[in-house]
Amino acid sequence: MKNSPNLLQDDSLDFNHFAASTLYQKIQKLLSAKSGRVNIALSGGNTPLPILNILKTENLEWSRLSFYMVDERCVLLDDVSSNYGNISKVFFDAIESDSYSMVLEGKSYEESALAYENMLEEKLPKSSSGIPQFDLILLGMGDDGHTASLFPNTKALGEIYRRVVVNEVPQLGAERITLTYPVLLEAKELIVMLKKQGKEDIINELYSGKSTNYPMLKIVTNRHDLQWLIG
Ligand code: 6PG
């Protein structure tokens, strides 16, 4: 079945400002659509950082927003590759929102993943399938079609019960902590943000109807409302 991506933007002169303004409008809508807390999960990597650095200057009801991580590298928080550490520097440290690191000091990565899973069960409302449900999840995509830390040919791709797992990624020679498909697929809204260089072919293949080994394909085929913010 061939369909096309729901493009929110492409080829903008200044992608980061456009993306930040799109997220601002999206979050405003979420805040006005419900009372209480709005729960958002952020992916790591480089793309989100300049966008969040702009978004933090917007006038939002930050105290009603809670930010979670989509995935994390198995490193300490002060490591240069820590997603939570990097997003804290440009975003969390400047806003009045709750934010929750996946890696917990003094806990193993497995213990951190379990604790995160228990926290999601406790803090998030449940979907009709009984799965912790985010109001919005921001995804990225790697040039191997991975999303979150669901990499091609890794164990976490097949996880259908756990919400958060440690995923061994042999192609990186590293472990990651990641949300699993059941949680990603239950989000009320899903936006992929990426810079397209080197990834156009993947996007076209994802919407070609062909079966591919890209972990993003499961999201594309199950969520026709998936929104793409492409620079
Ligand atoms: C990570 C991310 C990952 C990211 C993609 C794209 O921890 O690396 O969560 O899934 O979204 O790798 O990364 P860039 O935004 O750096 O291209």
pLDDT in tens, 102-139: 999 999 999 999 999 999 999 999 999 999 999 999 99
Lowest mean pLDDT among 28-32, 89-93, 115-119, 207-211: 207-211
169: Cβ–Cβ under 8 A, 6 or more apart, which residues? 149, 151, 154, 175, 176
Instruction: Please give the mean pLDDT across all residues of the chain.
Output: 95
List ligand 1's pocket residues with C-beta within 6 A. Answer: 43-47, 70-71, 83, 140-142, 146-149
Q: Between 131 and 12, name the one with better pLDDT.
A: 131
Ligand 1 atom nearest to CA at 146: 10
Ligand 1 atom nearest to CA at 47: 15
- Quick check: 7 pLDDT over 80? no
46 C-alpha to ligand 1 centroid (Å): 7
Q: How many CB atoms lie within 10 A of CB 30?
A: 18
Q: What average pLDDT score do residues 44-68 get?
A: 98
User: Quick one: pLDDT at residue 13?
Assistant: 65
Closest C-alpha to ligand 1, atom 8: 45
Band (12; pLDDT cuts 50, 70, 90) = low
Sheet containing strand 174-179, strands side by side: 71-73, 174-179, 164-169
Closest C-alpha to ligand 1, atom 11: 140
The rounded distance, in Å, linking the Cα atoms of 24 and 90 is 16
Q: What average pLDDT score do residues 67-83 get?
A: 97
Q: What is the pTM of this model?
A: 0.96
